[in-house]
Amino acid sequence: YYLQDKSNVPLDTEEFYSYDRRVRSILVGLEFYEEDWERHLETFSGGELTRISLGKLFLVDHDILLLDEPTNHLDLESTEWLVDFLKSYKGALLVVTHDRYLIRNVGNRFWELNGGSLWDFAGTYDKYQSDREIMVKSGLRTRENLSREIDRLDAVAKRYRLWGQEKFIKQAVNKERQRDRLKDQLETIDLPDEEIRPTKFRLPQPDRTGYSVLKIEGLSFGFGSKKLFNGASAEVHRRDKIGLLGPNGSGKTTLLRIITENLEEHVGQITWGHNVRWGYLSQLTEDLNPSNDVISEIWQLMRGQPDYEVRKYIGRFGFPGDDVFKPVPSLSGGERTKLALAKLILSKPNVLVMDEPTNNLDIWSIESLEEVLKEYEGCIILVSHDREFVQNVCDHFLMIDGKKLKAVSSVEEYLRRNQRNIDSTGNEYAKLTFQERRRLSNKKKSVLERLQQLEVEENELSRKLETAQLKMGLFSTDYEKLQDLYTGIERIESRLLEILQEREMLDDELDRLSETLDETS
């Protein structure tokens, strides 16, 4: 196994078998099944390699683990496993993460980096938030009182100097010394920069829809004989806030693209209800024009509005001052998400379809978006690996199970029904027939080879996309060249989406092979 190094573990000993069980438990917890264990590393995607790196770390009992966004690329089941693992870890942990579920369950001390300073808070995440609020309010009050006293002493000193008599001059000098001491004291009050937090706002009141918002009837979809959905049906009603749940590769993104008419080659009926106007926020934010800057992207949707209103609106999404002139290609992942959300809101949808909206956002932005969506009176259909976000926003849940859509009451019920039997991976397996094992092995090999081909193509296209986006800035005044580049970028992004869909289907195929091997091998 790629995570396993038995060179220092004696064979046929209890230590060996204990180590072997630990390897298997970690592999399955991080979504690697038996058919993955002999694969070459170059066949894995970037996200899979990240999970492999995590697994290698967890095999050794380090004194301290340093983890940077460990829940990235993990589904809800794997995040649950990771939280349980870290809770029982005997060493120290230093974790950078935007996942509040992990923070609440694992952290007992919090460092906030802000404005070049570090603040240290002991206790739970909720206590950190409470203590921080008290510290900021107290510090601001002290600053205000000191500033007021400095102004008073300064005015008194100036008045004494105007009177000109020696005794008043001495009093003025004394007041100036007091003022200067308070100025020094004022400079020592170091507080977090609150301006980096997003401005609170509300979504506009959505137009009322009919009671039935969306009907999915007999949906089947796949590539050739490989199905993601087979006769799936569900219905969404007015003001429902739906969390769509399923493991990685189960077809969540594909379903959102089908209902938003981005994938048309499917069997079954997708019917939107009366007066529905949906808006779609995709993972790739591909509706952003790479030839625009931030303000141009919004201006086209706010024609007739004065400049200050447009800039004020964009500022609510974390683009203050000259940040509104940032070119779209230069934006970070989080900034792209915020800009796409700003555009989406201007279309005034009454149904929000959102695919991983918290990707690349910091905790404050996630909490702000969460509050906005909780207050939203329209309908929401949401995919997210952020457990706390899903639980706080959604009131109904659909899980993808056996290529069908099934209602569950909560994220907890979904996790119970999909609990991975990790311990069983160390047990004896029943034997497959030689012919059946060879057939499954050949099928697995074919799928893995195709995934490797797609990985190579995706990497090449990503390099071409980056090059094209850089060229957009070089030819900003050459309209004809810009148009050619924009057309090329659209073609590349379209192919990247096709690759994403096919890889999702192939991942699902590997899951099914894994299940077959686990049950019958």
Strand partners, 112: 119
Euclidean distance between CA atoms 40 and 115, whole angstroms: 44
Question: What's the confidence (pLDDT) of residue 438?
Answer: 59
Beta-carbon count within 10 A of 79 CB = 19
| pLDDT above 90 for 439 | no
Torsion from C-alpha of 433, 435, 437, 441, nearest 10 degrees = 180
| 372 confidence band (pLDDT: 50, 70, 90) | very high
Q: What is the pLDDT of residues 87-140, one digit of tens each?
A: 989 999 999 999 999 999 999 999 999 878 899 999 999 999 999 999 999 999
| pLDDT above 70 for 39 | yes
Contact 342, 353 (CB under 8 A): no
Q: Residue 137 to residues 62, 140, 375: CA-CA distances in angstroms?
A: 40, 5, 26
Q: Residue 138 to residues 152, 190, 282, 441: CA-CA distances in angstroms?
A: 21, 12, 42, 65
| 209 confidence band (pLDDT: 50, 70, 90) | very high
Q: Looking at the structure, give the CATH architecture of the domain made up of residues 212-417.
A: 3-Layer(aba) Sandwich (3.40)
| pLDDT above 80 for 474 | no
Q: Identify the H or E element spanning 383.
A: strand 379-383
Q: Give Cα 296 distance to the centre of its chain.
A: 26
| 345 confidence band (pLDDT: 50, 70, 90) | very high
Per-chain mean pLDDT for the chain? 86
Question: What's the confidence (pLDDT) of residue 434?
Answer: 45
- Domain residue extents for the chain: 127-192, 212-417, 423-520
Euclidean distance between CA atoms 424 and 415, whole angstroms: 17
| 143 confidence band (pLDDT: 50, 70, 90) | very high
DSSP 96: E
